[in-house]
Each structure stands twice: as C-alpha cells, then as structure tokens.
Amino acid sequence: MKLSQAGELSLLEILKKRFGQRSRGVLVGIGDDAAVIRAEKNILLTTDMMVEGVHFDLSWTTPFQLGFKLVSVNISDIYAMGGKPQYILLNFSTHRNSTRKLFDRFFDGVEEALKTYGVKLIGGDISSADRIMLSLTAIGTAGKSLKRKGARIGDRIYVTGTLGDSACGLALLKKIQRTIDFTKRGKKGLPVAWDIAAPLLRRHLLPIARNPKRISGTATAMIDISDGLLIDLSRLCKESGVGARIRAMDIPFSEEMKMTSACLGISALDLALSGGEDYELLFTASAKAEAEAFCIGEITRSGIAVVDEHGKKINVSARGYQHFSSQG
C-alpha cells in the first residue's frame, strides 16, 4: 500500500494509537498543536536532521535501522550532558509513493529505541517530500548538567568504549557494496568472516548511546564522539580553554576493528582518531577520581597532541566529518 492512499490524518492516527498512551508527566501528547510536559527540573533539548542521500543511504540501511539510529544519535547528546532522556518529537517526510511497509518498519525501529532508552514519543509532524527527511528533537532532564567546558589542566581523559568501530563498519559496507554480487544469496565476497563483520556493521547501523549514569558524578567535562575523537576532543578543549595529550596505545580498539581495518588496508589508529559516529562518551575527570572507563590521556595547557609509547608525537590532523569544510 502506498502512503498517498493512507492520508496524513490516518497516519497520525496510527502513530497516536501506537505511541499515545497516557503517561505521568505528559499533559498533552501526540495530536494537538504542541505537546505539553510537566517540568520541575532543568530541561535539556537537542535536535538533529537526517536526510536521505546525505546522512544515510537506503541501499545499505534498513528503515528499522534508520528509525533506531535517529533516536540513538539524539539520545547520545542528552547523555553527553549527563541528562536523563525523557521525550522525543519526530518529523517524518517521505515520498508519496513510499510504502506503508517502509513507514511501519521505520517506526518499529523508533519504538525499539524508545524502549531501549525508556523514552516517549510525544509529537512531531508527517509530510511528503521527494525522499526521506527526518528531524528529531530529544528532551531530557538533569539536576546538574555536564558541559564541554570544565576540563582542568591535569585532568585525565576517558572514553567509555572502543573507537573506530562505526567508521570501520561504514568502510566495510562501502566495500561490500562495491564488490559483492547482490544477485547471489549469502555472504560471499565479505573480506572478513561474518562474526567479525557483524559487530562493526551493527555499531554503524544500530548504534546504542552510552548512559553516563556511572560516570557523571566524577566527570568535569563531557561530550559524545559523533564526529571523531580528535574533532570532538578539540571542541571540549576549546570550550574548556585547555589542551590535551592522547596516548595512542591506550585508545581502546576492538579486535574486530583491528582485523577488519587490516583487511581493508586502512589504519586502525586513523579510524579511532577520526572516524565518526561511535557515540561513545569522551570525558575528563580529576586525576584523584576513579572513573569506570578507558583513560587515554590527560588535559594539558594547550594544543592537541597524540603520542606513541615512547612519548613521541604522532603526526595527525583532525579529519572527522565536517559539513561545509573545504575538505568535507
């Protein structure tokens, strides 16, 4: 069934039925001019847009993955402020000839993510366009929020998990698309075994945002790694007015990433430093604090340096994805 046969009102009815259950805190949900929430604490707000052909490609992303990832990406920003995600608003545009199946699978992915994070969909809009365009606003609460500003000289720098996996998964997807014969079934043509490839693909296609619950008490500054370690670290340092030294050998690599990047002929360190979309948290904490995460370096007076096991500087440049940059 094509969406143009369904009608916007009835698509909204479908979403209202699916996501509109009563809940404490939501005074008005889907279906009025605006949603109304009861608020006592400080409110965190973040928003992001995802456009077909720019941020994703339906030839290697399913609608389910797309819905899940759109939520994760925004929840990650709420977590990166030390917040508790609570609600989302979602704008969904697609082609009039899109199928009802695409619509349903997309919202299956959204629903799965809502369950994962304990979050409610409370509003948004549906409209037609010539392809899929999405925007999401996530709303959270926080007692004290953790900013990019706040890192002090001597603080240790931590990340919550392995880096470069998502970028390696993307590189693998591109390689698969170029070389696999899609007319044949099965996983023939994969440059690595499926059980090595799968976690990397999942990390790129179905990223799970990191809950900061265990670390936000000790962190002095925090950001999520969406555009690559070096770019996001630069942002944190800039806001804090400090520099950083990263020890390359202390950056956590997954075995899958190390093996796959070797097969693909890409530098694992490059992927870890400049690969985007890992959605791990990068934070700083006092040298006296004990943080449950991987310590990868420390805050310095100025400049960003990456050093090897002998303390020798490695030549790197912040290359992560940037819109509107001359290299971008």
Q: Identify residues 75-94 at the interface with a second copy (CB under 8 A).
A: 76-78, 80-81, 83, 87, 89-91, 93
Residue 51 CB contacts under 8 Å (≥ 6 apart), including other chains = 131, 132, 133, 134
Nearest CB to a second copy, comparing residues 106 and 253? 106
Nearest CB to a second copy, comparing residues 36 and 198? 36
Asked whether the beta carbons of 60 and 80 are under 8 A apart, the reply is no
DSSP string over 131-160? S-EEEEEEEEEESS---STT--TT-EEEES
Asked whether position 255 contacts a second copy by CB under 8 A, the answer is no
Nearest CB to a second copy, comparing residues 132 and 259? 132
Question: Number of residues in contact with a second copy, rule: CB under 8 A?
Answer: 75
Nearest CB to a second copy, comparing residues 124 and 169? 124
Asked whether position 96 contacts a second copy by CB under 8 A, the answer is yes
Q: In what order do the strands lie in the sheet with 219-224?
A: 219-224, 281-285, 156-159, 294-300, 243-247, 304-307, 313-314
Nearest CB to a second copy, comparing residues 148 and 175? 148
| Residue 146 CB-half CA count within 13 A | 27
Rounded CA-CA distance 203/163 in Å is 10
Nearest CB to a second copy, comparing residues 22 and 323? 323
Rounded CA-CA distance 218/221 in Å is 9
Residues 145-174 that bind a second copy (CB under 8 A): 145, 147-149
From 106-114, 129-137, 293-301, 304-312, give the range in contact with a second copy by CB under 8 A: 129-137
Asked whether the beta carbons of 82 and 130 are under 8 A apart, the reply is no
CB of 17 vs a second copy, minimal distance in Å:
14
Rounded CA-CA distance 237/150 in Å is 9
Asked whether the beta carbons of 16 and 30 are under 8 A apart, the reply is yes
Residues 97-126 that bind a second copy (CB under 8 A): 122-126
Nearest CB to a second copy, comparing residues 38 and 188? 38
Asked whether position 31 contacts a second copy by CB under 8 A, the answer is yes
Nearest CB to a second copy, comparing residues 183 and 326? 326
Residue 186 CB contacts under 8 Å (≥ 6 apart), including other chains = none
Asked whether position 224 contacts a second copy by CB under 8 A, the answer is yes
Determine which residue in the list 14, 129, 263, 316 makes contact with a second copy, applying CB under 8 A: 129
DSSP 241: T
Rounded CA-CA distance 116/122 in Å is 16
Determine which residue in the list 72, 135, 166, 240 makes contact with a second copy, applying CB under 8 A: 135
If we measure between CA atoms, which residue out of 133, 20, 14, 134 comes closest to residue 87? Answer: 20
Residues 265-284 that bind a second copy (CB under 8 A): none
Residues 174-203 that bind a second copy (CB under 8 A): none
CB of 324 vs a second copy, minimal distance in Å:
5
Determine which residue in the list 66, 71, 121, 139 makes contact with a second copy, applying CB under 8 A: 139
Determine which residue in the list 22, 34, 186, 188 makes contact with a second copy, applying CB under 8 A: 34
Q: Which residue type, as a one-letter code, is found at position 140? A: G
Rounded CA-CA distance 328/319 in Å is 9
From 62-70, 131-139, 166-174, 261-269, give the range in contact with a second copy by CB under 8 A: 131-139
Nearest CB to a second copy, comparing residues 96 and 174? 96
